Structure 1
Amino acid sequence: MSHALYLEDLQPGQRFESRGRTLTESDLTMFAMLSGDWNPVHVDAAFMKESRYGQRILHGLLGPAVMTGMMHTLGIFDGSAIAMLDVKELRFLKPLLIGQTVHLELEILSVRETSDGQRGVVDRLFRLVDSEGVTVQEMRSAVLVAKRG
């Protein structure tokens, strides 16, 4: 059974929350391999031991990937999303750390039908929140969503 929401199911102010996910050493390594970003702040434990964080930090751009993955686990856009249109106002508020557990809080900001009447644009606010309730990253992103049928 699908949990997909279509344009007419969405309205400003709706909120969704994912389960938690612990960020791991493997996440850091895989993202470094994929991106080619081997900056010492991410991969040199001795260098970062003396830093203000006392440990390596995960790549900031891993956050949006984790947020969109967590959104997928909610199932709300499975089969109804047509295309992500943008990412804007991406903010890195706190570092992502190995061993940190985070979850997604997703809010629908606006919903509007396109001129063809077959779909619409949904603007969303993504918040990546740690286990202490602190928002570590946030971004806005619009998605093109189908209407039912």
Structure 2
Amino acid sequence: MSSYYLEDFKPGQLFTSSGRTITEADLTMFSMISGDWNPIHADAEFARGTRYGQRLVHGTLGIAICTGMLHQIGIFEKSVIAMLGLREWNFKKPILVGDTVHLQLEILSVEPGKSGRSGKLGRRFRLFNQHGEVTQEGDSDVLVLTHEGARQQEAEQAKGGAA
């Protein structure tokens, strides 16, 4: 899929990634990177006594997987400038080792910027498991180039590269 620019988006558009199975390695690596060794993530015996009967994947790993799946969808490869934040993120169901998840991205709003080079997209992320259940959802705005902004950026880069 090719990059989309601000003018290509409309409220209500949906984009869906393919699936990804969560592995033991994902859980362990995220514990190592984050430093979060809470027993609900790291201790199988402890987790066996909880309401889920097994270790849970870190909620924040779910957020990271969502943002990573955007690259797999491909619509922001050349157009994204910056993520502006996350808000109202909800952990609805646990993510477990062995679950296969996929992202559904919904465009909520499209707001042109004053410069004409970029604008803001309102987006809703929904991470589904293999049972079709939403495990996590939340909103994230992003700053995106317009087609004109992309042309101007390419011209500036070409001019800088010629020197």
Instruction: Look up the equivalent residue of 2:36 and give its one-letter code.
Output: D
Name the TM-score, length of structure 1 as normaliser: 0.97
Match of 1:44 in 2: 43
1:116, CA displacement in angstroms? Answer: 1.2
Q: Distance in 1 between matches of 2:59 and 2:12?
A: 27
1:29 aligns with 2:31: no
What displacement does 1:107 show? 0.3
Secondary structure of the residue that 2:46 maps to in structure 1? helix
Any unmatched runs of 5+ in structure 2?
152-163
Counterpart-to-counterpart distance in 1, 2:99 and 2:51 = 16
Question: 1:8-19 residue pairs with structure 2 within 5 A?
Answer: 8-19=7-18
For the residue of structure 1 that corresponds to 2:41, the secondary structure is helix
Quote the offset at 1:71 in angstroms: 1.1
Question: 1:10 is aligned with what amino acid?
Answer: F
Per-residue deviation at 1:55?
0.6
Look up the match of 1:54.
Answer: 53
Structure 1 CA distance, aligned partners of 2:63 and 2:46? 26
The amino acid across from 1:25 in the alignment is E
**3-state SS in 1 of match to 2:85:** coil
SS of structure 1 residue aligned to 2:51: coil
Q: Which residue of 1 aligns with 2:75?
A: 76
Shift of residue 57, structure 1, vs aligned partner: 0.4
How far has the Cα of 1:46 moved from its partner? 0.6
d(CA) in 1 for partners of 2:87, 2:97: 26
Larger helix fraction of residues: 2
Structure 1 portions without partners, runs of 5+: none
Give the secondary structure class of the aligned counterpart of 1:112: strand
Secondary structure of the corresponding residue to residue 46 of structure 1: helix
Alpha-carbon distance in 2 for matches of 1:72, 1:19: 11
Consecutive aligned runs of 4 or more in structure 1 exceeding 2 Å deviation = none
Deviation at 1:31, TM superposition (A): 0.5
Map of 2:84 onto structure 1: 85
Which of the pair has more CA radius of gyration?
Answer: 2
Greater relative contact order (CA < 8 Å, ≥ 6 in sequence): 1
- SS in structure 1 opposite 2:119? strand
